[in-house]
Structure 1
Amino acid sequence: MRLIVSNMDELNLYTKNTNATAKYPELHNPPIPKGTILDGEIVVLDEQGRADFEATNAGFRSNKKRKPVVFTAFDILYHRGLDVTGLP
């Protein structure tokens, strides 16, 4: 599931048009500096460490207890407040 992690003035997590910050408390202390926005995805890992997309989707749709997610960044949009999308 796609996720934007925005750590500008405060931490916010976005999926599509939804602020999902409260949904994923396990991601509330990212090791990134203020002024950073990352684009990536979240997944739930199975017992073998593989992505379990069914569990990921079920956890997003449900308010019941769910397995923790892991965030993997694949693009840096802002770093320390600077737009880095045009850099190589």
Structure 2
Amino acid sequence: MPYHKDKQQAFQAAQQGFEQAIDANQERMTSIGKEEYGKELAHLTQEMNEAFAQIDKALEVASEHQFDQLKQYQNDLQSIMKDIQTNQ
């Protein structure tokens, strides 16, 4: 049973990291053209790095359903990164 608990905890940490990165991206988007944009971009970068690390860790122990969801989180975060690179 501890293995199942570890899988669930890893998934929840990845999910939380993903949500925090999404929130940080929303803050970045609202600061476009404003003085605090650089600060928000740095915060987003930190949240993205943490989310990717948590997702990678969770992928190691994920169930099939969790694996698919985690891959979707990765794809969504990569889309945000491409958007940032395209619009700089």
Structure (1 or 2) with the larger CA radius of gyration = 2
TM over 0.5: no
Between Structure 1 and Structure 2, the one with more helix by share is 2
TM-score of the two chains, using structure 1 as the length reference:
0.22
Between Structure 1 and Structure 2, the one with more strand by share is 1
**Which structure exhibits the higher relative contact order, with contacts defined as CA atoms closer than 8 Å and separated by 6 or more residues?**
2
TM-score of the two chains, using structure 2 as the length reference:
0.22
